[in-house]
Amino acid sequence: MSEIVIKGGTLVDRSGERRGDLAIEAGRIVAVGDDLSGSTVLDADGCIVTPGLVDLFPALGQPGHEESETLETAARSAALAGYTALVAAPTSSPVVDNASMVRDVLALGASTACDVHVAGAITVGAAGERLAPVGEMAALGVRLFTDGDSGVQDDRLMRRAMEYAAGLGVTLAQHCENAALSEGGHMHEGARSAMLGVPGVPAEAEELMVMRDVTLARLTGCRVHFRRLSTAGSIGIVRAARGSGMAITADVTAHHLVLTDERCETYDPVYKVTPPLRTDDDVAALRAAVADGVVDAVVSDHCPHELHQKECPFDQAPPGVVGLETAPSVLLTEVGLAPTALVQQLSVGPAALAGLADTHGGTLEPGRPANIAVLDPTQTWLVDPASLASRSRNCPFDGWSLRGKARHTINNGEPTVIDGEAQR
Amino acid sequence: MTSHLISIRDLGTAGIERILGLSDHFLEVSSRRIPKVPALRGKTIAWLFWEDSTRTRLSFETAAKRLSADTLNFSVSSSSVKKGESLRDTVETISAMGIDAIVVRHGSSGTPHQITQWTDASIVNAGDGWHEHPTQALLDSYTITRELGPLAGRRIALVGDIKHSRVARSNVWAFTMLGASVTLVAPATLLPPSLEGWPVEVTEDMDAACADADVVYLLRMQLERQHEALVPDLREYTARFGLTSARARALGDDTLIMHPGPMNRGVEIAADVPDLPRAVVTNQVANGVVTRMAVLYELLGSGADLPTDAEVEASV
């Protein structure tokens, strides 16, 4: 008899869907089959049982912004949505731009409800001026490097970073935004920004940097990942680059698949995000890219801010929304992904990008580490930002009725969520 | 329900016409020996100007005093706002003093709209960022009506920096809702990134626009934006889009010349043009007081008829 049995669900992984129970012991899956028994039985009737979800580059508050989030609260929030691994953005305070900071954050994250990994900064302080010690961070297992909200602007520095990263076999993840074109902008530049009198960020600011980095990736052979693409034009460029055989990958956020700049008409700063919410045409292009796999991961882009930081004029508010607890539900409810596509975008894809394929993504089979999400795709719930496990409430889905919630979450064999209740 | 004036479009055509009609009453009040009525006695109006604007504030203040309202000025530059107080805290603080209306000027678009969620007072937008300046549109519409009669069928050329202009974003709607046609005259660098949904024509040909216009409305060239390279230099701007003396002389006899102030004489308007008989810049200022009286009365008044001159004299 095993320690834990997940009973009666539909197992969904990259090999497909099948009915079956799943038994866990000593942190690993030990059996998959019918009528398994265990000392703890977790009911999965009507649920999909998937490899644990993985989020890339959420901002987790710690160190430096503990009033808005800690690794503990962020991981709890994530576990409640079925996540078992987080690759923290390096843009904490101080920035994770050296080996010592990597060790600190990994230590802080060790006792939380998720495996906490970390991405490193490409440049010192993510300031875009000189290359960070990427090698010493890579030696600690860091696989993804990014400068957060400020893409590396300097062409020569980005070329050097790519050459250096290519030698180390790590991936550079860029938030693409040409600062000369986006400076001073606070929402998507277009008909709505013109009407509202809000300075805009043109789609071309993103697309120019995507083009540049595709060109530099071809020159250097570096693996390049594009973060939170938001425009139809960017998707087109990435589609073409991948078509030519380049090792280009990309992610999009859950909220960019659902919300448009129409939301800004209320001037509510909760809808201010980076990159800005775009148009219906962009949403359609992003959804198509998720459906046909031009995009490798859908991310939460979790970015906690205290309430008072958003109680200010739109153009003075910091950008970002909390998303860990809602992203999978938003995908299930609003985007209508098939279960296998959902698992690809929320687990298999991001696990592969982050170099976590040994513990996450993959298949549900004996011997694999027991990182598992049991998602009830039919449960509906009303989003109330005040009752999220996150310390912050800047959630753009206030009052939405969403479908799909994690019934149970297992991290390395330990239940972090049982029957929708956080255990840690 | 609390009523606000955030966008000129909130009023609708009927609302604008009602304000213009009321303005006639207040024009009459303003011409009395004692230009003051007790219409808003007991009402308190606060000025909350995050952005300096002496002329707009004085105009509102004059309007409020002629209606016998109590007024107080929340001086942002010397207040807690400078110390990092949030928008919400500032508004809730003022609101707690029992204010009936807050007249707001802010450098950020949308702020007056946001404020409505934190107070029961009526909010009057006295200009927000690049977004709107609805009372300017009312005083401009009133000025044109006084000079030319109804706006229906009139052709209005709106010239200059449309992109950064809250005046343009209110006037385009007010003028077109009243039946005028509006032509924007500007290079693409001074136009919004999109004009989708704007009921306007666009041209870069100032001479053609002037030849056709019943009103030439010049916007202030914001000299502080020179570093943004929106135009090569001011000399070229003046040559292409300024109302030069030659262009002013070529205007039709009845064509009005308007400007919201403050003017850059010698840039968007030649130094001698504001002094021409058809330039009605000071009329705009005078009409600002009466249209703002109408707005405050509309939002805060009891709905009772205005007292006559004799009744006022009897009560003093």
Distances (CA, A) of A48 to A29, A215, A324, A372, A408: 16, 41, 19, 10, 11
Give B77's pLDDT tier (boundaries 50, 70, 90).
Answer: low
Give B314's pLDDT tier (boundaries 50, 70, 90).
Answer: low
Cβ density class B55-66: b for 16+ within 10 Å, e for less: ebbebbbbbbbb
Q: Nearest Cα to A402, choosing from A374, A375, A373, A378?
A: A378
Give A199's pLDDT tier (boundaries 50, 70, 90).
Answer: very high
Is the CB of residue B117 less than 8 Å away from at least one CB of chain A? Answer: no
What are the contacts of A303-307 at 24+ separation with CB within 8 A? A303/A58, A303/A59, A303/A273, A303/A394, A304/A59, A304/A61, A304/A65, A304/A68, A304/A69, A304/A74, A304/A390, A304/A391, A304/A392, A304/A394, A305/A68, A305/A392, A305/A394, A306/A67, A306/A68, A306/A392, A307/A392, A307/A393, A307/A394
Find chain A residues with C-beta within 8 A of B166's C-beta. Answer: 197
* pLDDT-above-90 percentage for chain A: 96
Q: Answer yes or no: are the C-beta atoms of A260 and A179 closer than 8 Å.
A: no
User: How far is it, in rounded angstroms, from Cα B116 to Cα B106?
Assistant: 14
DSSP 8-state class, residue A334: I
Find chain B residues with C-beta within 8 A of A197's C-beta. Answer: 109-110, 128-132, 166, 169
- Please tell me the distance in Å from B132's CA to the nearest CA on chain A: 8
Q: Decide if pLDDT at B2 tops 90.
A: no
Cβ density class B109-133: b for 16+ within 10 Å, e for less: bbbbbbbbebbebbbbbbbbbbbbb
What mean pLDDT is predicted for residues A113-128? 98
- Please tell me the distance in Å from B108's CA to the nearest CA on chain A: 6
Find chain B residues with C-beta within 8 A of A199's C-beta. Answer: 130
Q: Do A196 and B110 touch (CB under 8 A)?
A: yes
Is the CB of residue B86 less than 8 Å away from at least one CB of chain A? Answer: yes
Question: CA-nearest residue of chain A to B164?
Answer: A197
Structure tokens at B174: 């007010």
User: How far is it, in rounded angstroms, from Cα B153 to Cα A416?
Assistant: 70
Complex ipTM, two decimals? 0.93
Question: CA-nearest residue of chain A to B130?
Answer: A197
- CB nearest to B87's CB, from A193, A195, A312: A312
Q: Do B193 and A315 touch (CB under 8 A)?
A: no
Give B313's pLDDT tier (boundaries 50, 70, 90).
Answer: low
* pLDDT-above-90 percentage for chain B: 84
End-to-end Cα distance, chain B: 33
Output the pLDDT for position B312: 56
Question: CA-nearest residue of chain A to B167?
Answer: A197
User: How far is it, in rounded angstroms, from Cα B102 to Cα A292?
Assistant: 53
Q: Answer yes or no: are the C-beta atoms of A375 and A346 closer than 8 Å.
A: no
Alpha helices in A55-150 (DSSP H): 71-79, 99-109, 134-138
Tell which of B50, B87, B172 to mutate to test the A interface (max A CBs under 10 Å): B87
Output the pLDDT for position B247: 98
Q: Do B86 and A266 touch (CB under 8 A)?
A: no
- CB nearest to A313's CB, from B114, B169, B196: B114
Active site residues of A: 301
B232-288 pLDDT, tens digit each = 999 999 999 999 999 999 999 999 999 999 999 999 999 999 999 999 999 999 999
What mean pLDDT is predicted for residues A415-419? 98
Q: Nearest Cα to A51, choosing from A32, A37, A34, A76?
A: A32
Q: Answer yes or no: are the C-beta atoms of A422 and A80 closer than 8 Å.
A: yes
B90: phi > 0 → left, psi -120 to 50 → alpha, else beta; which?
alpha
What mean pLDDT is predicted for residues A261-285? 98
Q: Nearest Cα to A12, choosing from A339, A359, A409, A361?
A: A339
- Please tell me the distance in Å from A130's CA to the nearest CA on chain B: 28
Q: Decide if pLDDT at B97 tops 80.
A: yes
Q: Do A313 and B111 touch (CB under 8 A)?
A: yes
Output the pLDDT for position B227: 80
Q: Do B108 and A316 touch (CB under 8 A)?
A: yes
What mean pLDDT is predicted for residues B127-133? 97
B221-242 pLDDT, tens digit each = 988 887 888 999 999 999 999 9
Q: Nearest Cα to A143, choosing from A159, A119, A173?
A: A119
Give B316's pLDDT tier (boundaries 50, 70, 90).
Answer: very low
Q: Which of residues 142-171 of B touch A (CB under 8 A)?
A: 166, 169
Tell which of B106, B108, B166 to mutate to test the A interface (max A CBs under 10 Å): B108
Interfacial residues of A (vs B; Cβ cutoff 8 Å): 189-191, 193-200, 202, 266-268, 308, 311-316
- CB nearest to B106's CB, from A191, A308, A313: A313
Tell which of B8, B114, B161 to mutate to test the A interface (max A CBs under 10 Å): B114
Give A184's pLDDT tier (boundaries 50, 70, 90).
Answer: very high
Output the pLDDT for position B307: 57
What mean pLDDT is predicted for residues A170-191? 97
For the entire predicted model, the pTM comes to 0.94
Q: Do A312 and B166 touch (CB under 8 A)?
A: no
Tell which of A267, A272, A306 to mutate to test the B interface (max B CBs under 10 Å): A267
Q: What is the mean pLDDT of chain A?
A: 96
Q: Answer yes or no: are the C-beta atoms of B284 and B258 closer than 8 Å.
A: yes
Q: Do A197 and B130 touch (CB under 8 A)?
A: yes
- CB nearest to A311's CB, from B88, B106, B194: B88
Is the CB of residue B301 less than 8 Å away from at least one CB of chain A? Answer: no
Give A267's pLDDT tier (boundaries 50, 70, 90).
Answer: very high
Q: Do B129 and A266 touch (CB under 8 A)?
A: no
Q: Decide if pLDDT at A105 tops 60.
A: yes
Is the CB of residue B128 less than 8 Å away from at least one CB of chain A? Answer: yes
B13-65 pLDDT, tens digit each = 999 999 999 999 999 999 999 999 999 999 999 999 998 888 999 999 999 99
Question: CA-nearest residue of chain B to A189?
Answer: B193
B173-187 pLDDT, tens digit each = 999 999 999 999 999
Q: Nearest Cα to A126, choosing from A106, A142, A149?
A: A149
- Please tell me the distance in Å from B120's CA to the nearest CA on chain A: 17
Find chain A residues with C-beta within 8 A of B119's C-beta. Answer: none
Give A387's pLDDT tier (boundaries 50, 70, 90).
Answer: very high
Give A292's pLDDT tier (boundaries 50, 70, 90).
Answer: very high
Distances (CA, A) of B95 to B101, B120, B129, B302: 9, 7, 23, 21
Q: Do A267 and B196 touch (CB under 8 A)?
A: no
- Please tell me the distance in Å from B111's CA to the nearest CA on chain A: 6
Output the pLDDT for position B211: 96
What mean pLDDT is predicted for residues A264-291? 97
Output the pLDDT for position B6: 97
Question: CA-nearest residue of chain A to B116?
Answer: A266
- Please tell me the distance in Å from B16's CA to the nearest CA on chain A: 20
